[in-house]
Chain A
């Protein structure tokens, strides 16, 4: 009996339902998702491991605070997202500024050392501060980023970008210039150069302080830093 049944050479286009309805439904969902992705608030991404060009470091040795004639220079290698760096910046650094930097004993030099594997927002934070530096507000943005650490540390999507931008607004930055700076990632090479410099001198964790040719890892108490700085200043006189 089966031999009498001849199959049609033409295959039925669809066995059940209208396939075009299903395809149209999937297409509508897909287009909707793309429209959402294009129109949502954008996060900025700062690429890691970029090639460092000469222009990235020309005339730039770090972010300084304090007198150029201070007898001691302390270089801090820090990651904005590292909790110990946040502790140092918010608890110890105010005393350091008051007792060591503003008194002319210490010149402070800040260098970025983003630990990308553990801290996905570290480079973004460093870049936000670098863009603020364009407008002479590095330290204001530095302080604001550390002060709001708890908010952006756990942010997802464009959350951290938006929080840093809000701090830029609070610090009185020209937001058009700030946005252009952030979206161009113009300081990605500078941040990478800073990281490479830290690695070269032996930094392995953050924060680490380079004082008088020696490395001091950890969030050192301001009293200890003061003792080291006074000893070095005494020795240099």
Chain B
């Protein structure tokens, strides 16, 4: 599996995690599978909305865009240091920053940890690192 395939799979995993959390917020899931109870505390907190929009929906849309970029980057027309790869690096960096803000809220404001949110955080950090390595490698190969 090459890095771009891995990026697409990571984005897909994040997409499903955020879809699960958003469906829970919409009431379609019932009880959230969590184990600690922290997921409900976080998902039902005021901080589960950012500027009036559900954080889970922001995640869902963000991962959808990242997945589209990753899928595009797999096409033969976008090999090398193409704009979809740069887009993944830049959006990934923004997503990591947003995730750090959400982790701060969980730890110091809500005082509860949502395991699904931790899973999403791990996914986005991995995604960003892989995208960064891919971008640097593609640029290096293009310049030689």
Q: How far is the CA of A8 from the CA of B79 in the complex (A)?
A: 11
Instruction: Determine chain B's interface SS by DSSP, over half rule.
Output: helix
Chain A stretch 31-78: residues in CB contact (< 8 A) with chain B: 33-34, 37-38, 40, 42-45, 47-49
A30 at the interface (CB under 8 A from B): yes
Q: How far is the CA of A47 from the CA of B112 in the complex (A)?
A: 14
Chain A hits for B37, CB < 8 A? 48, 116
Partner of B75, one of A13, A22, A26, A43: A13
- Contact in complex: B23, A37 (CB < 8 Å): yes
- Contact in complex: A15, B71 (CB < 8 Å): no
- Contact in complex: A11, B74 (CB < 8 Å): no
Chain B hits for A45, CB < 8 A? 30-32, 40
Given A30-B16, A37-B23; A44-B5 close (CB under 8 Å): no
- What are 14 A-to-B residue pairs whose CB atoms are below 8 Å? A8-B141, A10-B80, A13-B79, A14-B4, A19-B1, A19-B2, A22-B9, A23-B71, A30-B15, A38-B23, A42-B30, A44-B31, A158-B30, A183-B27
B28 at the interface (CB under 8 A from A): yes
Chain B stretch 1-28: residues in CB contact (< 8 A) with chain A: 1-2, 4-5, 8-9, 12-13, 15-16, 19-20, 23, 27-28
- Contact in complex: A37, B79 (CB < 8 Å): no
- Contact in complex: B141, A20 (CB < 8 Å): no
Q: How far is the CA of A11 from the CA of B31 in the complex (A)?
A: 46
Chain B stretch 47-81: residues in CB contact (< 8 A) with chain A: 71, 74-76, 79-80
Instruction: Determine chain A's interface SS by DSSP, over half rule.
Output: loop
Interface size grouping (class) on chain A: 20 to 34
Chain A hits for B144, CB < 8 A? 7, 9
A27 at the interface (CB under 8 A from B): yes
Chain B hits for A38, CB < 8 A? 23, 28-29
Q: How far is the CA of A30 from the CA of B23 in the complex (A)?
A: 14
A12 at the interface (CB under 8 A from B): yes
B100 at the interface (CB under 8 A from A): no
Given A11-B141, A13-B79, A23-B5; A47-B40 close (CB under 8 Å): yes
Chain B hits for A34, CB < 8 A? 16, 19-20, 23
Chain B hits for A22, CB < 8 A? 1, 5, 9
